[in-house]
Amino acid sequence: MKSMPSRKVEISASIMCLDWLRAGEQLAELETLDIDYLHWDIVDGRFAPDFTMGSSVINCFREQTKLRSDYHLMVEEPSSLFATFDVTPGDVFSIHQECSRNLHRDLVSLRRRGAKVGLALCPATPIATLDYIIEDIDVVLIMTVNPGFMGQKLVAQTIRKIALLREMIDKMELDIKISVDGNVNCENIPQMVSAGADILVGGSSGLFRNDLSLTESVAKIKDKINEGLNTELW
């Protein structure tokens, strides 16, 4: 499979991984670094372990930034939370295929609110589950680790999953972006991009690193994106 050097790969900053004692400072710095989205992980402790931020915290952050939002709901019955989050044009709102009782209805509801509609898949969920719904979405979020805690290692089979999804989307001639979330670091980014990723969610292993500033981390991520765009996966 050959990559497409002309396509733009976007970066979504995972806010759950920032330094919360320097949140305002880091948010301001992200504004200057050509970041495309702020990624909001909402975890309920039921579908996935751990708990993260709620709508009051997220909406407060949103008031301080012009960056688009990239919502990722890792919750049971996600439709119960739709109305609690602000949505503006260009925002992405992803729910899990594994959580929704009436997936089509939930996606229609999100689109009516003005969001770009995303569907997230856990590492072991096959892309065949996208049959009969793929034409109704804008983004497929491939989890390359299991939902929950940050700092997990890549589930290796998910690289092949990204490539197969890219092949499916291209064959159907659909305008759908592939987002990748989980262990997005300098080692894994080239193969993620070469496989077909369009959006990379930068977390603790790639963007919010203890050994680099945000400016240095973004520069390294962009270098690795270019490497992936100009190499073949297999």
Each of the 234 residues of the chain gets a pLDDT tens digit; together they read 444 446 899 999 999 999 999 999 999 999 999 899 999 999 988 887 777 888 889 989 999 999 999 999 999 999 999 999 989 989 999 999 999 889 999 999 999 999 999 999 999 999 999 999 999 999 999 999 998 767 789 999 999 999 999 999 999 999 999 999 999 999 999 999 999 999 999 999 999 999 999 999 999 999 999 999 998 876
Annotated active-site residue 181? The verdict is yes
Contact 145, 160 (CB under 8 A): no
Strand partners, 178: 140
Pairing outcome for strands 199-202 and 37-43: unpaired
Q: Using CA atoms, how far apart are residues 137 and 48, in angstroms rounded to an integer? A: 23
Q: Identify the bridge partners of residue 181 per DSSP, sorted by sequence position.
A: 143, 201
Using DSSP, state whether 19 is helix, strand or coil.
coil
CB 172 within 8 A of CB 134: yes
Q: For residue 234, what pLDDT is reported?
A: 66
Burial 60-83 (b: 16+ CB within 10 A, else e): ebbeeeebbbbbbbbbbebbebbe
Q: Is 41 a catalytic residue?
A: yes
Domain range annotation of the chain: 13-229
> Kind and range of the H or E element at 143?
strand 139-143
Q: Point out the catalytic residue in the list 36, 106, 181, 198.
A: 181
pLDDT for the residue 3: 41
Dist CA 156 CA 60 (whole Å): 36
Q: Which of 41, 70, 138, 198 is catalytic?
A: 41
Measure the CA–CA gap between 127 and 13, rounded to whole angstroms: 25
CA distance 139 to 144: 15
CB atoms inside a 10 Å sphere around CB 53: 16
Q: Which two tokens stand for residue 40?
A: 């909001």
Match domain 13-229 to its CATH number in 1.25.40.10, 3.30.1180.20, 3.20.20.70, 3.20.20.80.
3.20.20.70
Rounded Cα distance between 169 and 99, Å, is: 23
The residues pairing with 180 across neighbouring beta strands, listed in sequence order, are 142, 200
Number of Cβ atoms within 10 Å of the Cβ of 195: 25
pLDDT at position 4: 45
Supply the pLDDT for residue 72: 95
The pLDDT of residue 45: 83
Q: What is the pTM of this model?
A: 0.94
